[in-house]
Amino acid sequence: MRNDNKPNRGEEGSVTILTLTLGFVICCAGVLGLLFVQLTLARATLGSYADLAAIAALQTVGEPCAAAETIAVRNGVELSGCELSFGRVVVEVQMTAPKLLSRFSNIDVLAVTARAGY
């Protein structure tokens, strides 16, 4: 008579390997999700700062690009471009990428362009 209660010797530890693999996949997905959220939040914040700089430049009579520079510096970003033409301002700001994002990707600098005027 055969005893069916004994596990097959070839399958011992397979659940452990599957559990470790699933845990690794979940951790990798979590890190990718965190990087995506960090990139999205950084670009949204940078976009807001670019909008503020463009509006400040448009509303300034004397030195519009100097006003945009002041607003950018006060928000902790760098003004990398400012162009004025016929009642329209195009401003580009940039900042260094968050540390976690730059460590796990090739992104070192984030840049956003904003326009104000008509």
Q: Is 29 contained in some domain?
A: yes
70 domain residue, yes or no: yes
Q: What is the pLDDT of residue 10?
A: 66
**Cα separation, 64 vs 53, whole angstroms:** 9
Instruction: Say which DSSP state 2 is in.
Output: -
Quote the domain boundaries for residue 57: 13-117
CA-derived radius of gyration, the chain: 26
Q: Specify if 61 maps to a domain.
A: yes
pLDDT confidence of residue 68: 93
**Nearest alpha-carbon partner for 51 in 85, 77, 22:** 77
Express as a percent the part of the chain with pLDDT over 90: 64
% pLDDT > 70, the chain: 91
Q: How many domains does the chain have?
A: 1
In a domain, 82, yes or no: yes
User: How many Cβ atoms are within 10 Å of 53's Cβ, its own excluded?
Assistant: 30
Q: Is residue 4 part of a domain?
A: no
In a domain, 31, yes or no: yes
Report residues of the chain scoring pLDDT below 50.
Answer: none
Given this model, what pLDDT does residue 21 score? Answer: 95
pLDDT at 25: 96
CA distance 93 to 9: 63
